[in-house]
Structure 1
Amino acid sequence: MAKSSADDEELRRACEAAIEGTEQKIVLSIRVAKSHGIWGKSGKLGRHMAKPRVLALSTKSKGQRTTAFLRVLKYSTGGVLEPAKLYKLNHLSKVEVIANDPSGCSFTLGFDNLRSQSVTPPQWTMRNIDDRNRLLFCILNICKDVLGRLPKVVGIDVVEMALWAKENTPTVPKQMNQQDGVPVAATATESDLKVTVERELVSQAEEEDMEALLGNYLMGIGEAEVFSESLKRELLALEAANVHAILESEPLIEEVLQGLEAATYCVDDMDEWLGIFNVKLRHMREGIESIETRNNKLEMQSVNNVSLIEELDKLLERLRVPSEYAACLTGGSFDEAHMLQNIEACEWLTGALRGLQVPNLDPSYANMRAVKEKRTELEKLKTMFVRRASEFLRNYFASLVDFMISDKSYFSQRGQLKRPDHADLRYKCRTYARLLQHLKSLDKNCLGPLRKAYCSSLNLLLRREAREFANELRASTKASRNPTVWLEASAGSSHSSHNADTSAVSEAYAKMLTIFIPLLVDESSFFAHFMCFKVPALVPPGGVANGNKGGYNDANDNDDLGIMDIDENDGKAGKNSADLAALNESLQDLLNGIQEDFYAVVDWAYKIDPLRCISMHGITERYLSGQKADAAGFVRILLGDLESRISVQFTRFVDEACHQIERNERNVRQMGVLSYISRFATLATRMEQYIQGQSRDLVDQAHTKFVSIMFVTLEKIAQTDPKYADVFLLENYAAFQNSLYDLANVVPTLAKFYHQASEAYEQACTRHISMIILYQFEKLFQFTRKIEDLMFTITPEEIPFQLGLSKMDLRKMLKSSLSGVDKSISAMYKRLQKNLTSEELLPSLWDKCKKDFLDKYESCVQLVAKIYPNESIPSVSEMRELLASM
């Protein structure tokens, strides 16, 4: 028989090494196979494949207390045992041997402290029955000794375990040193192997009793047949005894039967009585149910009647029209003292109408005749009140404006500019702001005529105020008129008039905008709030529009009307666009026509000084950039129209000035610097002084148009006399650069034209100087040009043999051209001086002439030395010295 792994000392030492440091002592270690499969059923291979494990029983003593453990150890990758699981034996509840295992070597251990009892516990399989019994017997002994109880054992007989333990008590030779030192082999008892017979599962006395009992049953039994016959005889004897006992008890049975018969009669009588009572009870129950049904119906009817009365009272309360409200709605006064009663009546009427609508009223009431009649009555009240209120407000708006127009102290008068003040007007209008809110909630269609009436009345007032203010503004502004003729050729226009101070003109225009633009914005904002338009606020309450610098600002002018939004649904974003379109249409009616007075100021300023259009354009742009609210649509349009009108006026001025420039072309003979060249610098300087804000673009466009026309006209005039064209061009381009030098450094647009004039000046200088040089030394440079042309086709050695290019021809040409060269150079200087009208240009032109002549002469000398190496010609240095001495 193979040696059990429980006796493997190396295995025990490996287990002790694995649990080193835990202060536990190994009692038994044995190899097992772990699996999760069920015998007789198929499972996943990876899940139910047996895995080698080692089960070790260990104990730990702490004082008088001993704790027992069951350890599961597994083999690591290197074949070293390492702890895998740890169970306490005091939680061991069941030991079950698998019945489906034919070998009987598989068992499971059940613990009562596992987290998931639904998980199948692992199965442990031993190599043979002896190993199984040895492990289980050791576990049971430890449970009995340490815990004082045994777990439930299933699938194995405890007596069989005890008999096996007695038969398989191992003996281990032990070396014992006696006093004489001779080793003697001793037999190890059960205590030496931690297996004690006295601590077996069945005690010795119990075992003797069981053997005696078994002996009594086995006495006299020789063969199975004999024993079977004996049992049959005993069975027949017992049956006969039972029959005899039954027969002897017959009198008692008769007595019992008589008693049962009497009881049957009593039961029949009772059944009859119970049937009678049952019928009576059934009739009584039906009567009670009928009474309860009638009672429940009466109670339900009573409750319904009470609820109906309450509902009718509520409905009647809704349908009742208070007499004080009815009187107010049909014939009340709209004076300021009675407005509180009117508002209360409006609130009641609005609530009553909403209360009779289906969402707020039960749908079952909606078709009642009383409700329909009351709804019709309320609609008549609403129509009558809206008509009366609308008629009153139309007359009220007209009377307010008529009163203000009839009083001249409201408007600007001769010698006194009057700033429009609408504080009192708005204060009186605010009295009826809440009434308008209620009118809107009652009938939105009534606001249209009211808005038109308000716009029509106020439009008269605003136009009158703007007209009187503009007239007095122009009358009180003192400014000398500048002529529109700036760039004409005649000398009739003096420069002194161009320098007149016309700043009062643009200041007057700015004052017009400063007073009226915030006023118009405030009026637009007040109108939007007062007439119940649901649009974003134009300016903060009491604020002023951007661009108002020290202008109109009424500290008490608060456009917050102090009213709540009565119709909450009107504030939705979906209606904003429609309200905004309606508002802009109404603002057109409110402010239309006032732009004519602004146009009049613009036209008046243009007539005094057209260049002031630049300042007015910048002022207008500044105000336009400040109007960003949607409710100021008309104000933005007005400013945009003013900007366009100013641009048109300035464009007309530019076109007239350009026409003056073009008229210079018609003159037959032009000499020297044209008049518009020098005057343009003055015009450009003044335009730059008037730039404000973004009017830079306007001035740049004017610069571009002016200079383009000037240059085109200059080129046309120069073509009328080609002989002096270059002199004429270089003098005018030089004058343009000299006059605009300072401005070109700060104005990018003029800098571009400055560079263009510089290039044209250089080209004109080059052409004029080349003409003068060729005029004096034509033969010399024509001879050189012939040689250069032939060098493209023949070699330099062949050129002296060509017709007209021989050495003799060269000597004749040099003699005629360079004899008296100093006189030729003097003549060249005189010719250059003769055609110039601007003496300040002569030094620079003469220097350029000498430089170009030396460059051409140097090329000529190099060419002659190359083609005619033995011929003599004055050197370049000699010619440079000659030029320097002159």
Structure 2
Amino acid sequence: MAKSSADDMELKRQCEAAIDASGGGKQKVVLCIRTVKSRAVWGKPTKLARHMAKPRVLAISTKSKGQRTKAFLRVLKYSHGGVLEPAKIYKLKHLSKVEVMQSDPSGCTFMLGFDNLRLQSVAPPQWTMRNKDDRNRIIMCVLNLCKEVLGSIPKVVGMDIVEMALWAKENTVVNKLNQEVTRDGPVVLPSTVTENESEGTVERDLVSQAEQEDMEALLGTYLMGVGEAEAFSERMKRELLALESANVHAILETESVVDEVIRGLEAATILMEDMDEWLAIFNVKLRHMREDIESIEYRNNKLEFQSENNKALIQELDKLLEHLQIPHEYEEALTVGSFDENNMSKNIEACEWLTSAIRDLELPNLDPSYAKLRAVREKRAEFILLRCTFVRRASEFLTQYFPTLIDYMINDQSNFSQKGQLKRPDHSELRYKCRVYARLLQQIKSLDKNCMGPLRMSYCQSLNQLLRKEASCFSNELRASVKVARNNGVPLEGPFTGQTGSYADSKPISEAYAKIINVFVPLLIDESSFFSHLMCFESSPESSSVDAQTTSSGHTAAISFAILWPFTGNANNAIEMAMLNDCLNNMLKGVEDDFFAIIDWASNIDIWCCITMYGITDRYLAGHKAENAAFVHVLLGELESRIHSFFSVFVDDSCFQVEKYDRNARTFGVLAYIPRFAQLATRLEEYVHGSSRDLIDQAYTKIVSIMFVTLEKIAQVEPKYADIMLLENYAAFQNGLYDLANSIPTLAKFYHQASEAYEQACLRHINMVIYIHFEKLFQFARKTEELLIGKMPPEEIPIQMGMSKGELRKVLKSTISGLDKTQSAMYKKLQKNLTVEELIPSLWDKCKKEFLDKYASFVKMVQKIYPTETVPSEIDMQKILASLEM
């Protein structure tokens, strides 16, 4: 049999070193053996490499701590360098099951189950040994170690203990732990003992050596033969008879003593009988007395119970009387008290007491039996009447107080913008005076929330007048403080002087619009938030999400602020939301008119300001995406739509000016709106300044599309000169927008579109000029191509009519002989109808290049069909043209 890895001392030393290096302390390795770890099911091939067998080393170690010894099962694996390193550690005290896997036909695979594993749903690893001897050796070592150290062994499944014992006997090895006492304490070591030594060990466990010697000495004393036993029995019988006779004689000698004892017992019996009679008499008397005591205790208990009930009843009545009595100071405050600022704390305290008193007299706070009492019903009615009286007085006071306070601010002209003095609205004093009554409003709502409606509407209507007057004065002063000249933009038709102003001239107008936005939009947000808190709405702008909806109308109709905050929850929240939306709609109604007035004023003075105002609105809207007042988005969206509508009118007017050229068609030269659009685009870009480009890009797209469509229509009026007009105008468009197209994607798109249209127009015009002056040459080439397309063999083409070699020579001679005149005629043809002389050099270069390309195709065709003919090559033709260069 091959040597087991359990006897490898070098492996044992490596295991001890790995355990020590991992921080496990100094431990003694009892047994270490090589094995493989696998989770695969026998007979079923695994699909993943991670389920394949992995080499491991199982090491059983012990650690002594005082008089206790701990046992561990360590799993070690090989690192990339072949060095053992700890992978897992198990405590043998948690070992609950040792199972030999029946799925392994060899019987070398077993599983160790521990009861403290966290993931019980994951199957524990299986260990496969090289042979059954290694398996039996490690299992016997684990079982013996559990028996010696823990005092119990785990459950064994799939393995016969008797078979293990026979194996141990056959191998004359029993893996048992002997306790050796050393300086550091007991150390568990495996030993190899014989069968006789094992039996002796078991006997020593049952009987100690001293007890065994005493038993042997005792048995040796009574060791005798059969005859001696019979003699010993006879002797014992004789001794027993002698002892019995001696006992009887002793009893007879004490007869007088016995008589005296009997007489004493008789006297004691008589006394006991007399005592029994007396005890019976006393028992009857005590029974009667006990019955009397029980009767007295019963009556006393009823009296005590009644007394306790009376005390509890008095306490309940005292508590009830406390609820039914109204303190004099509270009654005075609720009925005739003043609502001055100094008395508000007393009023609030009285309201809180009244709310608590009414709540305490209602179910389920009050016992149902008390609710039927006449005094309770009358007192509850009195409290309710007192509540109605106080709510009515407080509502009348606040209904008059809020309008009076706001009217005072309206009548004070110093609160508004005046001529030469632009004043920002300040509502801090108004809010301070309103906050004095915030807790009073909360109490009014808790007492009777139906009274809040008129209060809220009164406050909103009064504040609406203040906001509208502030916005109107601010808007009027803004417009009066800005003095600029009127500017209607860059016309795309008609006379153009070039004096259309600049961005610096119209900057004050844009600043005026930005100022009213930056002043009044935060003011409206603050006022709405303050109103929702002051008037005790359950949902406020601070706790709601934005649900802005804008309209596309450009008229001055009032904005509806009814769609504000989406509610979540029950129907009560829905009612609160509806009321809040209605109140805010009344509070902010009409404020938007002054914003519209600024936009109308700015658009009439300088239509270019629409771009700047649109950018200001868009930036403010983007910067307030998280703003909690949705009506701000409604207002800004409406302003943005109005600005867009004004600018759209300007764009539509510009498009109309371009379309007018279709009626007054000019069939030559550059159209006037082409260079003027470049000036228009330059002016538009001055007003963008990094803001949203949507408005400008839409304008570019619409105007340029109309320009290109109109240009195509005008060019088709005279088809003979259509290409000339197209290439001149597209070239002018590119020249005017070259710088802007490098930085503006929208214009770059149209720039490339114009460039493609220019190239196509140039190609058509050049081809027309070439075919006019080299008609015979390219007609001959076209006939040849048609024959080739008709799948005629190249060698048959020269024999066709008009396609002979002689005809080819005539065509070449006529082409080359008059080439100088033809070239001059082509140049004059290109120059004849062009109004932009700067385009002639580039067109002439394109014309020569196109002719050489076509001539090169002609030469290839001739070489294919007329291989014996000598034709000037493309390079020769290029040299000829160069020699004739003018």
- Give the corresponding residue for 1:94: none
Residues 463-511 of structure 1 deviation map (CA, whole Å, 9 limit, x = unaligned): 12212322332233222222267323x22x4331365832222122111
Is residue 274 from structure 1 mapped to residue 279 from structure 2 by the alignment?
yes
Question: So what's the TM-score if we normalise by structure 1?
Answer: 0.70
User: Which of the residues 726, 738, 741 maps onto 1:741?
Assistant: 738
Residues 67-87 of structure 1 deviation map (CA, whole Å, 9 limit, x = unaligned): xxxxxxx9998x789872238
Task: Kindly state the Cα deviation for residue 298 of structure 1 after the two structures are TM-superposed.
Answer: 2.8
Listed as ranges, the matches of 1:803-882 within 5 Å are: 803-868=801-866, 876=874, 877=876, 880-882=879-881
- Give the corresponding residue for 1:391: 396
Q: Distance in 2 between matches of 1:721 and 1:652?
A: 33
Residues 93-119 of structure 1 deviation map (CA, whole Å, 9 limit, x = unaligned): xxxxxxxxxxxxxxxxxxxxx9xxxxx
Give the counterpart letter for 2:410 in structure 1: I
Is residue 308 from structure 1 mapped to residue 351 from structure 2 by the alignment?
no
Q: Provide structure 2 residue ranges, at least 5 long, that are not aligned to the other structure.
A: 1-29, 31-143, 148-155, 187-193, 544-566
Asked if the contact 1:459–1:589 (Cα under 8 Å) also holds between the matched residues in 2, the reply is yes
Q: Provide structure 1 residue ranges, at least 5 long, that are not aligned to the other structure.
A: 1-17, 19-33, 37-42, 54-73, 89-113, 115-123, 141-149, 165-206, 540-569
Go from structure 1 to structure 2 and tell me whether the alpha carbon gap of 1:780 and 1:244 turns closer, same or farther (over 3 Å shift): closer
Go from structure 1 to structure 2 and tell me whether the alpha carbon gap of 1:805 and 1:324 turns closer, same or farther (over 3 Å shift): same
User: Which of the residues 646, 650, 666 maps onto 1:649?
Assistant: 646
Q: Distance in 1 between matches of 2:228 and 2:813?
A: 179
- Give the corresponding residue for 1:756: 753
Go from structure 1 to structure 2 and tell me whether the alpha carbon gap of 1:243 and 1:589 turns closer, same or farther (over 3 Å shift): same
Asked if the contact 1:613–1:650 (Cα under 8 Å) also holds between the matched residues in 2, the reply is yes
- Give the corresponding residue for 2:480: 475
For the residue of structure 2 that corresponds to 1:855, the secondary structure is: helix
Q: Distance in 2 between matches of 1:659 and 1:223?
A: 151
User: Which of the residues 495, 499, 524 maps onto 2:498?
Assistant: 495
Go from structure 1 to structure 2 and tell me whether the alpha carbon gap of 1:76 and 1:592 turns closer, same or farther (over 3 Å shift): farther
Q: Distance in 2 between matches of 1:832 and 1:645?
A: 51
Give the counterpart letter for 1:586 in structure 2: C
User: Which of the residues 651, 654, 657 maps onto 1:660?
Assistant: 657
- Give the corresponding residue for 1:521: 525
- Give the corresponding residue for 2:344: 339
Task: Kindly state the Cα deviation for residue 262 of structure 1 after the two structures are TM-superposed.
Answer: 3.5
For the residue of structure 2 that corresponds to 1:769, the secondary structure is: helix
Task: Kindly state the Cα deviation for residue 885 of structure 1 after the two structures are TM-superposed.
Answer: 2.3
User: Which of the residues 533, 537, 543 maps onto 2:537?
Assistant: 533
Listed as ranges, the matches of 1:285-684 within 5 Å are: 285-358=290-363, 361=366, 365-483=370-488, 486-488=491-493, 490-491=494-495, 493-497=496-500, 499=502, 501-535=505-539, 538=542, 582-628=579-625, 631-684=628-681
Q: Distance in 1 between matches of 2:675 and 2:350?
A: 80
Asked if the contact 2:510–2:609 (Cα under 8 Å) also holds between the matched residues in 1, the reply is yes
Give the counterpart letter for 1:758 in structure 2: S
Go from structure 1 to structure 2 and tell me whether the alpha carbon gap of 1:134 and 1:638 turns closer, same or farther (over 3 Å shift): closer
Residues 717-763 of structure 1 deviation map (CA, whole Å, 9 limit, x = unaligned): 21121111100110111011000000000001111111111111000
Q: Distance in 1 between matches of 2:528 and 2:642?
A: 23
For the residue of structure 2 that corresponds to 1:85, the secondary structure is: strand
Asked if the contact 1:483–1:609 (Cα under 8 Å) also holds between the matched residues in 2, the reply is yes
Asked if the contact 1:538–1:629 (Cα under 8 Å) also holds between the matched residues in 2, the reply is no
Q: Which has the larger radius of gyration?
A: 1
- Larger mean CA deviation between 833-842 and 519-528 belongs to 519-528
- Larger mean CA deviation between 802-811 and 753-762 belongs to 802-811
Asked if the contact 1:534–1:575 (Cα under 8 Å) also holds between the matched residues in 2, the reply is no
Listed as ranges, the matches of 1:35-50 within 5 Å are: 46=160
Go from structure 1 to structure 2 and tell me whether the alpha carbon gap of 1:819 and 1:335 turns closer, same or farther (over 3 Å shift): same
Task: Kindly state the Cα deviation for residue 776 of structure 1 after the two structures are TM-superposed.
Answer: 1.5
Go from structure 1 to structure 2 and tell me whether the alpha carbon gap of 1:241 and 1:50 turns closer, same or farther (over 3 Å shift): farther
Go from structure 1 to structure 2 and tell me whether the alpha carbon gap of 1:230 and 1:393 turns closer, same or farther (over 3 Å shift): closer
Task: Kindly state the Cα deviation for residue 780 of structure 1 after the two structures are TM-superposed.
Answer: 1.7
Task: Kindly state the Cα deviation for residue 798 of structure 1 after the two structures are TM-superposed.
Answer: 2.5
- Give the corresponding residue for 1:195: none
For the residue of structure 1 that corresponds to 2:500, the secondary structure is: helix
Is residue 767 from structure 1 mapped to residue 764 from structure 2 by the alignment?
yes
Is residue 86 from structure 1 mapped to residue 179 from structure 2 by the alignment?
yes
Asked if the contact 1:621–1:693 (Cα under 8 Å) also holds between the matched residues in 2, the reply is no
For the residue of structure 2 that corresponds to 1:497, the secondary structure is: coil
Give the counterpart letter for 2:533 in structure 1: H
Task: Kindly state the Cα deviation for residue 866 of structure 1 after the two structures are TM-superposed.
Answer: 4.8
Task: Kindly state the Cα deviation for residue 769 of structure 1 after the two structures are TM-superposed.
Answer: 0.7
Asked if the contact 2:387–2:447 (Cα under 8 Å) also holds between the matched residues in 1, the reply is yes
Go from structure 1 to structure 2 and tell me whether the alpha carbon gap of 1:808 and 1:247 turns closer, same or farther (over 3 Å shift): closer
Q: Distance in 2 between matches of 1:818 and 1:742?
A: 45
Q: Distance in 2 between matches of 1:80 and 1:127?
A: 11
Give the counterpart letter for 1:513 in structure 2: I
Asked if the contact 1:726–1:764 (Cα under 8 Å) also holds between the matched residues in 2, the reply is yes
- Give the corresponding residue for 1:189: none
Residues 105-134 of structure 1 deviation map (CA, whole Å, 9 limit, x = unaligned): xxxxxxxxx9xxxxxxxxx996999x7999
- Give the corresponding residue for 1:558: none
Listed as ranges, the matches of 1:131-150 within 5 Å are: 140=209, 150=210
Q: Distance in 1 between matches of 2:647 and 2:169?
A: 103
Residues 434-476 of structure 1 deviation map (CA, whole Å, 9 limit, x = unaligned): 2112223323333233222211111111112212322332233
Q: Distance in 2 between matches of 1:632 and 1:238?
A: 121
Give the counterpart letter for 1:306 in structure 2: K
Residues 679-716 of structure 1 deviation map (CA, whole Å, 9 limit, x = unaligned): 11111122222125552122112212221221122112
Matched residues, number: 699
Q: Distance in 2 between matches of 1:137 and 1:369?
A: 92
Go from structure 1 to structure 2 and tell me whether the alpha carbon gap of 1:717 and 1:50 turns closer, same or farther (over 3 Å shift): closer
Give the counterpart letter for 1:276 in structure 2: I
Go from structure 1 to structure 2 and tell me whether the alpha carbon gap of 1:125 and 1:317 turns closer, same or farther (over 3 Å shift): farther
Q: Distance in 2 between matches of 1:594 and 1:376?
A: 47
Asked if the contact 1:583–1:631 (Cα under 8 Å) also holds between the matched residues in 2, the reply is no
Q: Distance in 2 between matches of 1:586 and 1:336?
A: 26
Is residue 779 from structure 1 mapped to residue 835 from structure 2 by the alignment?
no
Task: Kindly state the Cα deviation for residue 577 of structure 1 after the two structures are TM-superposed.
Answer: 7.9
- Give the corresponding residue for 2:552: none
Q: Distance in 2 between matches of 1:583 and 1:324?
A: 36
For the residue of structure 2 that corresponds to 1:421, the secondary structure is: coil
Give the counterpart letter for 2:750 in structure 1: F
- Give the corresponding residue for 1:553: none
Asked if the contact 2:169–2:195 (Cα under 8 Å) also holds between the matched residues in 1, the reply is no
- Larger mean CA deviation between 767-776 and 318-327 belongs to 318-327
For the residue of structure 1 that corresponds to 2:688, the secondary structure is: coil
- Larger mean CA deviation between 779-788 and 249-258 belongs to 249-258
- Give the corresponding residue for 1:160: 216
Asked if the contact 2:528–2:541 (Cα under 8 Å) also holds between the matched residues in 1, the reply is no
Task: Kindly state the Cα deviation for residue 255 of structure 1 after the two structures are TM-superposed.
Answer: 5.3
Task: Kindly state the Cα deviation for residue 513 of structure 1 after the two structures are TM-superposed.
Answer: 0.6
Go from structure 1 to structure 2 and tell me whether the alpha carbon gap of 1:798 and 1:252 turns closer, same or farther (over 3 Å shift): closer
RMSD: 4.2
Give the counterpart letter for 2:177 in structure 1: A
Give the counterpart letter for 1:518 in structure 2: P
